[in-house]
Amino acid sequence: MRNETRALFNGYLDQVAKLNGITSAIVKFNVAPSVQQKLETAIQESSALLQKINVITVTEQEGESILLGVNGPIAGRTNTAGGNRRNPADRSALNKDSYSCKQTNFDSAFPYPLIDAWAKFPDFQVRLSKAITDRQALDRLMIGFNGISAAAATDIAANPLLQDVNKGWLQKIREGAADRVMDEVVEGSKKVTIGATGDYKSLNGLVYDLVQLLDPWHRSRPDLVVLVSRDLMHDKLLSAVEKGAASNVEENAANEILSKARLGGLPVVDAPFFPGKTVFITTLANLSIYVQEGGRRRYLKDEPEYDRIADYQSSNDAYVIEDLGLVALAENIEAV
């Protein structure tokens, strides 16, 4: 690390320490609550999709989903003249998910040559912080859509999509709402086929049918969306790109069709790292990440033995479906 870079890095350490009310950032410390909230906001704002879901700070490490509210019909009538008492229904108790915040390490290393290059820019501290928050945002989305388990020791080689870091949203549905998961139509086939000779003639037909797995009062919600893997949208995307190529706008063609695409009457959401052969119907407000207050820890370190600086961070996170009656998932989809 060049001397000029070291001076900038030391300034970054001093700023981190000042914000967290500590004397030094080169020892492990609990991130101050106000700083934790600002960091969570920065992570959320770095991703267009994360901005549309809930990132909530919770006090308890374990508990039940907290955003349900009144989540089912409450209208009715009681014949009080006949001596009957009106009995309000607690609709928040319907289809609650539980959560358990698991320690998730977000450790990153920055080689000296990279830091030396960044030192030439006036926004060195902002650039370093943004690199860290952007990656954490992407990792959270990857876990949310691909997480299956929370292993004591994770294995990135065996689980390149972070499948063993935490249980994500789709896994919570498989475990907590199996009756809302379609993974086959013909018993024993272990697949849902789309095409002229398939279980459904088109993706539109599948989505229309999949909506019926939602609770009846959710099926006509105006905020329903459908998340679809890109492999299933291939034909539509390819057609758009080829059509755009003829008019020299191919670079915008795929994005244009995705922004306007609808399946089964629902708007399509293109989600990063969404698993292949999968369709998921819900509202984006039904997806949450719970972060335990006071659970974020950090340790910044210069590691000359590896020619790098290291940022060791951990956060206690959980992925939550607010209402398990507001989800419908189809997997193992194949074109025939």
Q: How many CB atoms lie within 10 A of CB 57?
A: 15
Q: Which of 298, 235, 229 is nearest to 269 (CA)?
A: 229
Statement: residue 236 has pLDDT above 60 = yes
Domains and CATH numbers, the chain: 3-70+96-168+288-320 (3.30.2400), 178-286+325-335 (3.30.2320)
Kindly give, in sequence order, each residue whose CB lies less than 8 Å from that of residue 6, ignoring residues fewer than 6 positions away: none
How many Å apart are CA 149 and CA 235, to the nearest integer? Answer: 33
Structure confidence at residue 240 (pLDDT): 63
How many C-beta atoms lie closer than 10 Å to residue 82's C-beta? 6
Q: What number is the average pLDDT over the span 265-273?
A: 93
| 1 vs 332, residue with greater confidence | 332
- Comparing 36-45, 69-78, 81-90, the range with the smallest average pLDDT is 69-78
Q: What is the distance of C-alpha 57 from the center of its chain?
A: 15
Question: Which of the residue ranges 52-66, 235-249, 320-334 has the most confident prediction, judged by mean pLDDT?
Answer: 320-334
Q: How far, in Å, CA of 28 to CA of 316, rounded?
A: 16
Which tokens go with 289?
């990440």
Helices and strands of the chain, counted as H and E runs: 8, 17
Q: What is the pTM of this model?
A: 0.87
Name residue, tokens 């308890």: 60
Given this model, what pLDDT does residue 256 score? 63
Strand partners, 181: 329
What percent of the chain shows pLDDT beyond 90? Answer: 71
Q: Compute the distance between CA of residue 228 and CA of residue 109 in angstroms, rounded to an integer.
A: 34
Higher per-residue confidence, 70 vs 202: 202
Check: CB of residue 330 under 8 Å from CB of residue 210.
yes
Distance between CA atoms of 330 and 251, rounded to whole angstroms?
A: 30
Q: Residue 33 above 60 pLDDT?
A: yes
Of the candidates 75, 259, 53, the residue with the CA atom closest to the CA atom of residue 168: 53
* Structure confidence by residue, pLDDT tens digits, 251-265: 565 566 666 788 999
